[in-house]
Chains A and B, each alone.
Chain A
Amino acid sequence: MAEIALSAVSKSFGEVRALADVTLHVANGEFVVLLGPTGAGKTTLLRLIAGLETADAGSLFIGGRDVTQQSPALRDVAFVFQRYSLYPHLSVFDNLAFPLRAPVRRLAPDVVRATVEKTAALVRIAHKLQTPVTKLSGGEMQRVAIGRALVRQPSVYLMDEPLSSLDAKLRAELRLELKHIQRDLGATIVYVTHDQTEAMTMASRIGILDHGRLVQVGTAREIYENPVSAEVAARLGTPRINLIPIEALASDALPAAAATVGARTEHIRLAADPSGPGTVTLVEHLGNESHVHVELGGRELVCLAEPRRELASGSRVAVTLSNFLLFDRAGRNLDLGSARPARSDLVFA
């Protein structure tokens, strides 16, 4: 296993700036997830590490070696794609054994067998080794694809949305398994996704990409609790954080630089109040919790509520914000880098 160091890497395709000045250090054994919408540059960054693209500027080290100009084959990385890309005419065993049978390796058949069996157990496909891959379910195929990457123990694993083609239930299962396998192997993984749940649940650290720039790197908790900007705050957390212009609050207790209040659903308290300023427009009962939509001064807030709270559509409520975030005119978090000061609750008039 190995660490990865990117410094000041940039990449353009014609006029389009795909990556701008990206510096990222991935420690040995770390699981870094790059999160961003389509076009943010996350796949380009992954392909750069793999050597499938070459940087216009900057440098890339893997395991202490400068690989900036090296071909993919010399970088000792394994790539898992979104689509399984297995050999359809081969069995699970032969698909897993394929990378080990490459002529350069010359491994003895019993070594190949032992390695394949160990890997198959790891990705829980050992009971289907002789099955043709075309007979597998989607989840099984993707486990084989991941297994094929694991089998050769490269320095670094690169994964491009490997779970996105699976259904929700399977995705949740494999998420947990992949994290577990990574920890067992002490593997270094760079993983690309646009799914914030995958990022939050698997990553040692998340890198948030926005228009080719790496805008924040941190643990899920760090980014969730202390996002650098309103834009980043909206990337983590479902339902999305409520961003409320300061004018809507008419409060003089806030710093002058504050332009926007960021209130996550759990930062909003609702109380039934016939003369309250808010009107409940929709209650979504999700079982373990409810999402209450409140219309307030022409904007909609989404708030978290206990599942058994009786807040009917149409009822009036008082709305209080606590433990909220503040952003300036440029969207920057006002309290970044400092402990968030204790602020008194805000009550909507």
Chain B
Amino acid sequence: MSEIRLEKVEKRFADFVAVRDSSFVIHDREFFVLLGPSGCGKTTTLRMIAGLEFPSSGTISIDNEDVTSKGADERDIGFVFQLFALYPHMNVRQNIGFPLRCQGVPRADIARRVDEVARLLGIEALLDRRVAGLSGGDSQRVSLGRAIVRDAKAFMMDEPLGALDAEMRERMCGELRRLHDRIGATTVYVTHDQVEAMAMADRIAVMNHGVVDQIGSPMDVYDHPATLHVAGFIGSPAMNLLPVSAALAAGQRELELGGTRLPIPLQTDALSERALVIGVRPEHVELVGEGGLRGQVFGSEYLGTVQIITVNTPHGQVKVRADSALAVTPDAPIGLQFRADRTHLFDATSGATLGAARTGADSSTSSARVASGTRGLHIAPSVAHG
């Protein structure tokens, strides 16, 4: 059992608030990813869980034990960092066994554990090699080995794949997730790469400016982004976001833009005129010859089974995911139709989602958003009623 609980955790560096009023629970055996752009507070959050930083206020508990003021060495946590901090003068076996040697574990036990870990990572053949000549992927496997060789309560990983090339990163994503499943530990993983987060996480906490915007499963944050930031951060290409200024009436399901009516999630409450953003993912836009939101083909990008077609409209650029067999002519006029049940609407100022599009929401999502209330990311009235 290792459940990690953060309650009203805040971290200030002088005047700068790195992490603001964060409350959430990381479940036992969960693969939990802290995701966000640089400077969003994700690494600071990880370091506080690990005991490398102490919160300015709030509490952190692991397995119901308050560890807020305990140092890293008292928390029983394993680490993996981006740069392979391996000891160059030791071979692979010695590097992996090092944490156990420091703990004074008997020699025979160390040998057994190192062999087990090497088998788990598929690096048995490398055990007697020097670390200097290893490839990037193998170096990272060795540092993983060094982290998991101890039976730690939880593993903290800070962009462990950041230094690898794209192909190796993709392979290691799968390996890491399977490793996590095999050892059945709790993993907290920090990254700015949404593809890594989506591929590996049980749940993702999307952070921005020191605040957790949303916590949910990959599909939940993809299908039901709670804020404009989450909508724009998750997905590649990103969700299309079109600014529009309008008032909303209760029961409204469409918005006028550029002479056409675009579907929006059903509005349950009236709102005065304000800056709004309509969001739609590239796979939920269809190209039509006549009607729709009019634009001009800017370019198309062939990706094998699909292509991404970019269309310039007077209201912004819209990307469309289409079958690669579809032929489009550059600069040709074209119409865009949004799938009615798959659009999103956001308040441009607060960033909050508007409307009743959310279904099957994760309960922790709303608690994360309540926790972030200080920054104005309050639950929109329509959501609270719905």
Chain A positions within 8 Å of B, measured between CB atoms, are 168-169, 172, 175-176, 179-180, 183, 195, 197, 200-202, 220-221, 224, 236-240, 264, 266, 281-282, 284-288, 291, 293, 304, 307-308, 313
Bound-state CA distance A293–B173 (Å) is 12
Q: Which A residues touch B282, using CB under 8 A? A: 288
Determine if B93 is an interface residue (Cβ-Cβ < 8 Å).
Answer: no
* Cβ-closest chain B residue relative to A224: B304
The answer to whether B219 and A307 touch across the interface, beta carbons within 8 angstroms, is yes
Q: Compute how far the CA of A291 lies from the CA of B200 in the bound complex, rounded to whole angstroms.
A: 11
Contacts of A220 in B (CB 8 A): 302
Which of A287, A291, A293 is the most central at the interface, judged by chain B CB atoms within 10 Å of its CB? A287
Main secondary structure of the interface of A (DSSP, over half): mixed
B283 within 8 Å of A (CB atoms)? yes
CB neighbours (8 Å) of B200 from chain A are: 284
* Interface check B333, CB cutoff 8 A: no
Question: B352 → chain A, closest Cβ, in Å?
Answer: 21
Mask, B148-188, CB within 8 Å of A = 1, is: 00000000000000000011001001100110010000000
Complex Cα–Cα for A201 and B302 (A): 5
Is the CB–CB distance between A288 and B321 below 8 Å? Answer: yes
Closest to B308 in A: A201
Determine whether the beta carbon of B198 is less than 8 Å from that of A221. no
Q: List 30 A-B contacts (CB under 8 A).
A: A172-B237, A176-B299, A176-B301, A176-B310, A180-B299, A197-B303, A200-B302, A201-B301, A201-B303, A201-B308, A221-B324, A236-B304, A238-B170, A239-B170, A240-B167, A264-B305, A281-B178, A282-B177, A284-B177, A285-B198, A285-B217, A286-B195, A286-B199, A287-B198, A287-B218, A287-B219, A287-B222, A287-B235, A307-B222, A308-B219
Within the assembled complex, what's the spacing in Å between the Cα atoms of A285 and B166?
A: 18
Residues on the B chain within 8 Å of A285, using CB? 198-199, 217-219, 222
CA distance A266 to B324 in the complex (A): 13
Chain B 32-76 interface residues, beta-carbon cutoff 8 Å to A: none
Asked if residues A284 and B330 are in contact (CB atoms below 8 Å), the reply is: no
**B142 proximal to A (CB < 8 A):** no
With an 8 A cutoff between CB atoms, is B276 at the interface?
Answer: no
Instruction: Identify B302's interface contact among A221, A264, A266, A282, CB under 8 A.
Output: A221
Q: Are A284 and B198 in touch, CB under 8 angstroms? A: yes
Does B293 belong to the interface (CB within 8 Å)? no
Q: Which residue of chain B is the closest to A201 with respect to CB atoms?
A: B301
- In the bound complex, what is the Cα–Cα distance between A288 and B238 (angstroms)? 11
Q: Which residues of B contact A (CB under 8 A)?
A: 166-167, 170, 173-174, 177-178, 181, 193, 195, 198-200, 217-219, 222-223, 234-238, 281-283, 298-299, 301-305, 308, 310, 321, 324, 330
A282 touches B304 (CB 8 A): no
Known: A282-B178, A285-B219. 10 other contacts (CB 8 A): A172-B237, A200-B302, A201-B308, A202-B301, A224-B302, A236-B304, A284-B177, A286-B199, A293-B174, A304-B305
Contact across chains for B324 and A288 when beta carbons are under 8 A apart: no
Contacts of B170 in A (CB 8 A): 238-239
- Contacts known (A176-B299, A284-B173, A285-B222); A266 close to B305, Cβ less than 8 A: yes
Q: Which residues of chain A come closer than 8 Å to B223, judged between CB atoms?
A: 287
A200 touches B304 (CB 8 A): yes
Query: In the complex, A287→B198 CA distance in Å?
Result: 8
The reply to whether A183 and B303 contact each other, CB–CB distance below 8 Å, is: no
Enumerate chain A residues within 8 angstroms of B308, measured Cβ to Cβ: 201
**Which residues of the other chain, A, contact B177 by a CB distance below 8 angstroms?**
282, 284
Q: Are A282 and B218 in contact (CB under 8 A)?
A: no
Q: Which residue of B lies closest to A288 (CB)?
A: B283
Specify which chain A residues have a CB less than 8 angstroms from the CB of B217 in the assembled complex.
285
